[in-house]
Amino acid sequence: MSPLTRTTAVVLGLLAPALVALTGCNGQSVADHPDDPKPRASATGVALPAPRSAPAPAPTLSPAPDKGDVRIEDGPFTDRMRLTGLTLTNKSTVTGHLAITSDVSDVLALELRAAYYDSRGRLLGTGTFQYQEEGEDAHGSDHHDGPRAAGDGIDFTVPAKHLTGTPAAAVVSIPVLVNE
């Protein structure tokens, strides 16, 4: 065998395992491991975590609420606003007024949730109030007709949906607040 043929054979002998490693071929077929539960590796991107959402309301209130009691659930935005005039109406609705206390910027998006409870503190259902500024007001125009943190604030009504009984109390939470 000539030196050139011997060198070529050595190079091919070294390249063959490298090509097998690069292509993922291992000499085994799927039939060799039919019960292998592991999925094959893919070249897809890294999975991102699911977006966070507001926690579900507590299934029971402790201590049991007084009739007409409306509580404010402590959350990430409760120190930036003042909720006043909270009332549970006889129409299974929470009404009130919200004013931003942390700054004087416009409210761009707001979500209030109310969890409704019976007199023994059992969850009966929930409701949501949503506000989203739209149009030119959302782009910082000098003219502004919507709710302002620096002004009077926002009156809100949170109607209950799909109740399983008559509510005696409610807990209000603020899962979304976006202001300039």
- Region at 111 (left for phi over 0; alpha for psi -120 to 50; beta for the rest): beta
pLDDT of residue 152: 75
Cα–Cα distance for residue pair 143/178, rounded to 1 Å:
19
Residues 6 or more apart whose CB falls under 8 angstroms from that of 137 comprise 106, 143, 144, 145, 146
Q: If the chain, 180 residues long, is cut into consecutive pieces of 10 residues, what is the mean pLDDT of each piece?
A: 50 52 53 53 46 74 90 90 93 92 79 95 95 60 47 87 94 89
Cα–Cα distance for residue pair 49/68, rounded to 1 Å:
39
In the block, tokens 């399983």 appear at 164
Cα–Cα distance for residue pair 118/120, rounded to 1 Å:
5
